Chains A and B, each alone.
Chain A
Amino acid sequence: MSGIPKAIGIKPRTLRCSSALKLLLCLFVGTSVAQTPKAATSLLHKEAPEFVRIDLENRRLDLRAYKGKVVLLDFWATWCASCLLEMPRFVAWQTQYGPRGLQIVGISMDDDPALARKLYKKMKLNYPVAMGDEKLGLLYGGVLGLPLTYLIDAQGTVQAEFRDETDVKLIEEQIKPLLRP
């Protein structure tokens, strides 16, 4: 049904090739990039909207405070099975890439904060998670389906948007060039 990696912001290299090759390229590129849903207003290459929340540990979560770090902003919910599958990788990346400047930030779109808290503890998330709401969703152009993850560079600019089920390797490949050596 889905299962195709979708990431806005990945531009295919331009190749000079025959019509047959172009057709094959269309097949390949068309399914990985061009069909990316344009559900929400794209924030690609724009400044990530700032927000302040209190996270699940009752600490202040201010996106501006992460300027200078690469932020992976993950909108998720406990009812989103695909989101839950990504989380162990995010935990691993926070440990592995945190020293190189990566900061993962989770925003739960659950209606019931208790469900998010329970899962936060169960999955031992090692990055801040705050509850979202419709205002925050609309600030990001409308979070009208999950998973939805934004990659924000150290200057605060959105460098990639990952919608639907995305191969986590694809996300990792986009993160690494932005990190400190």
Chain B
Amino acid sequence: MKIGLVGRSRIAVFIVFAFLSSSAQVRAQFAQIPAESAFSIPEAQLLKPEALVQLLQTTNKDKPLILQVGSHMLFAQAHIPGSEYAGQGSQPAGIEQLQNRVNSLPRKKLIVLYCGCCPWNRCPNLGPAFAKLRDMGFTNVKVLYLANNFGADWAGKGYPVEQGH
């Protein structure tokens, strides 16, 4: 069956409308979340996954300290090789664990935080963890930017992972 120019235009308009409509519905569904988002972290401090991989491959001395500040259950399933679990940033006990881990380090030490528990704008852990390190005087803190989660943006991209506690 041939579709005329008008017919094609109508189908195109319908498709665009359906796309915009579905996106709007999802945005509306989740718009009410008053989450403590990771958006509070300055963009200059963000590190893309490929940049971290490169950093890990090229750095011989003074390797960065990589800390996961999200769910331990997720960490146990898969984490960045060499990284440490440093407590859940959204919990007071987690912030205390983080503080204890870094307290003795020089304030210029390169520290990379990451989480990946959920979409970036919903992550409740990175914002408080980053703020804690900043308040402690650390001046070289980077945060791994994972748009969706650790599975999608790190493990799913084929970057190295290891299991265990």
Cβ of B73 within 8 Å of any chain A Cβ, yes or no, is yes
Checking A2, A39, A138 against B119 with a beta-carbon cut-off of 8 angstroms, the contacting residue is A2
Checking A20, A39, A109, A132 against B155 with a beta-carbon cut-off of 8 angstroms, the contacting residue is A39
Tell me the complex Cα distance, A168–B8, Å: 30
Known: A20-B8, A37-B149. A167 touches B26 (CB 8 A): yes
Tell me the complex Cα distance, A71–B77, Å: 24
Cβ of A105 within 8 Å of any chain B Cβ, yes or no, is no
Closest to B35 in A: A81
Report yes or no: B156 in contact with A79, Cβ–Cβ below 8 A: no
Cβ of A143 within 8 Å of any chain B Cβ, yes or no, is yes
Which residues does chain B contribute within 8 Å of A52, judged by CB atoms?
none
Which of B10-18, B44-52, B103-111, B133-141 contacts the other chain? B10-18
Chain B stretch 124-165: residues in CB contact (< 8 A) with chain A: 124-125, 147-153, 155-156, 163
Report yes or no: A27 in contact with B19, Cβ–Cβ below 8 A: yes
Cβ of B6 within 8 Å of any chain A Cβ, yes or no, is no
Chain A stretch 8-29: residues in CB contact (< 8 A) with chain B: 17-18, 20-21, 24-25, 27-28
Known: A17-B3, A37-B152, A132-B73. A167 touches B25 (CB 8 A): yes
Checking B16, B77, B125 against A24 with a beta-carbon cut-off of 8 angstroms, the contacting residue is B16
Closest to A15 in B: B11
Tell me the complex Cα distance, A79–B78, Å: 18
Listed A/B pairs (17) with beta-carbon separation below 8 Å: A2-B121, A2-B148, A3-B30, A31-B23, A39-B148, A39-B151, A39-B155, A79-B70, A79-B124, A80-B118, A81-B33, A85-B33, A109-B74, A132-B73, A134-B163, A165-B122, A170-B22
Report A122-133 CB contacts with B as 1/0, cut-off 8 Å: 000000000011
Which residues does chain B contribute within 8 Å of A31, judged by CB atoms?
19, 23
Cβ of A1 within 8 Å of any chain B Cβ, yes or no, is yes
Which residues does chain A contribute within 8 Å of B122, judged by CB atoms?
80-82, 165
Closest to A170 in B: B22
Report yes or no: A77 in contact with B71, Cβ–Cβ below 8 A: yes
Tell me the complex Cα distance, A83–B71, Å: 15
Tell me the complex Cα distance, A137–B71, Å: 13
Which residues does chain A contribute within 8 Å of B78, judged by CB atoms?
142, 144
Report yes or no: B30 in contact with A82, Cβ–Cβ below 8 A: yes
| Least Cβ–Cβ distance between B135 and chain A, in angstroms | 22
| Least Cβ–Cβ distance between B12 and chain A, in angstroms | 5
Cβ of B27 within 8 Å of any chain A Cβ, yes or no, is yes
Tell me the complex Cα distance, A139–B151, Å: 15
Report A63-83 CB contacts with B as 1/0, cut-off 8 Å: 000000000000001011110
Tell me the complex Cα distance, A109–B77, Å: 11
Which residues does chain A contribute within 8 Å of B156, judged by CB atoms?
37-40
Known: A1-B121, A165-B119. A145 touches B3 (CB 8 A): no
Report yes or no: B27 in contact with A3, Cβ–Cβ below 8 A: yes
Cβ of A111 within 8 Å of any chain B Cβ, yes or no, is yes
Cβ of A174 within 8 Å of any chain B Cβ, yes or no, is no
Chain B stretch 30-44: residues in CB contact (< 8 A) with chain A: 30, 32-33, 35
Report yes or no: B15 in contact with A144, Cβ–Cβ below 8 A: no
Report yes or no: A137 in contact with B12, Cβ–Cβ below 8 A: no
Report yes or no: A1 in contact with B119, Cβ–Cβ below 8 A: yes
